[in-house]
Structure 1
């Protein structure tokens, strides 16, 4: 008598579809069985089927297309979006993102005062609890098809003895020009990892259940590798790759 499969049903569905995609039963680009058909085959409800599909979306093996269904993706296929990372200086002196995407803020970012948490204080080489200017923005591009959460941190100590003791500095990328005008030669370091989103992040980025984030921290550095500011990006991690020129 074969051993009973004790895995949760959604995991059984995910394993069945994963094996079919990898062995060619469900070719890349072709639709998978409908939620209704899978629910009937496994004797489960459609929400259970969707939970199994979410696992495969998170691993990049399926793609949901609005109004058409869910399609198999090869593990070797290219993502829909490739975003070059980095900052360059345009001919007019402005600093711009290497990907060339024109982002629009859903609402104008407003400076708020926050205290540096331990992890960010370590990257900025400032004491934990030091006050910082912080800007938050939900940014969209390509008629809302691309979305990212962007946060800028500027420690108060960086602005001592500058005009920004009396006025609020701008958020990045305009911040780069402001720092350059203060005499800083700028360069940048990025740290990238993946993690699961918080509920409000998943909602803002319109992430399906089970889809991870790309979490990018960019530190702006001046002379002697002194950190001047920090940016935090949260990007959808299901159909995106980042590229770097080395």
Structure 2
């Protein structure tokens, strides 16, 4: 099928033209760090568009980290050295009563009670858990919120059936993480954790659940809990909004 000539191609969307205009101004110093970009009304008049179209263009720059939007004040050029609005130390620690908690200390609330379902291990997760692809697993899915709903994350727990063989959980589902880790410790496991961090664009249902604007990526964290003999026992999958979030890891020498 022949390709269109440039003159016959669809014109650039207005919101993208706005994003390109602001991006060029930020990079060449027309709009300095810490200063506001032109208001929505001025951009709407300049490009002959509605304010929602302007917001869509600004959302592209916000997703790429060039601007930050302050409620009631407008969009400002971000400093390359400014701190993010949320910093989350990563890691797992054990409390005096034997419970496992995240190092960031955030108290999460499940939007709905997580229910165990049976799933078969896909190849990528099977490799991390060192089990055959297709092995059955207990899986929990839950949307979690904190800080009166301002913070949101998607949390999934995987536990292979083979890990539970010969234990009291052979015939019943274990609890989801983090209570799962205390249950594994009670079975005699000394736990260690490894976390894999990736970024990607969210699926539509993930963007909706996390209240993400267009073009905002997510952090995908895969945390493997390892027990005795370096055997992987369980895996947590977390999806976190990738905008204005700093993840910090304590690296021991």
- TM-score, length of structure 2 as denominator length: 0.89
Residue 202 (structure 1) shift: 0.6
Deviation digits for residues 101-149 of structure 1 (CA, Å, limit 9, x no counterpart): 1111111111111111111111111111111111111111111111100
Measured in 1, the distance between the counterparts of 2:92 and 2:184 equals: 14
Please state whether the residue corresponding to 2:243 is helix, strand or coil.
coil
Q: Aligned runs of 1:27-66 on 2, under 5 Å?
A: 27-66=32-71
**Residue in structure 1 matched with residue 164 of structure 2 by the alignment:** 159
Tell whether 2:229 aligns with 1:224. yes
Deviates more, 1:116-125 or 1:67-76: 67-76
Contact 1:21-1:27 within 8 A present in 2 as well: yes
Deviates more, 1:15-24 or 1:91-100: 15-24
Measured in 2, the distance between the counterparts of 1:136 and 1:45 equals: 39
Please state whether the residue corresponding to 2:183 is helix, strand or coil.
helix
Structure 2: tracts of 5 or more residues without a match: 1-6
Q: Aligned runs of 1:78-93 on 2, under 5 Å?
A: 78-93=83-98
**Residue in structure 1 matched with residue 176 of structure 2 by the alignment:** 171
Structure 1: tracts of 5 or more residues without a match: none
Residue 45 (structure 1) shift: 4.1
Q: Aligned runs of 1:1-246 on 2, under 5 Å?
A: 8-246=13-251
Measured in 2, the distance between the counterparts of 1:15 and 1:120 equals: 39
Deviates more, 1:20-29 or 1:119-128: 20-29
- The number of aligned residues is 242
Contact 1:21-1:73 within 8 A present in 2 as well: no
Measured in 2, the distance between the counterparts of 1:66 and 1:130 equals: 49
Residue 58 (structure 1) shift: 1.1
Q: Pairwise CA RMSD of aligned residues?
A: 1.8
- TM-score, length of structure 1 as denominator length: 0.91
Deviates more, 1:58-67 or 1:130-139: 58-67
Contact 1:85-1:99 within 8 A present in 2 as well: yes
User: CA 1:74/1:15 → structure 2, altered by over 3 Å: closer, same or farther?
Assistant: farther
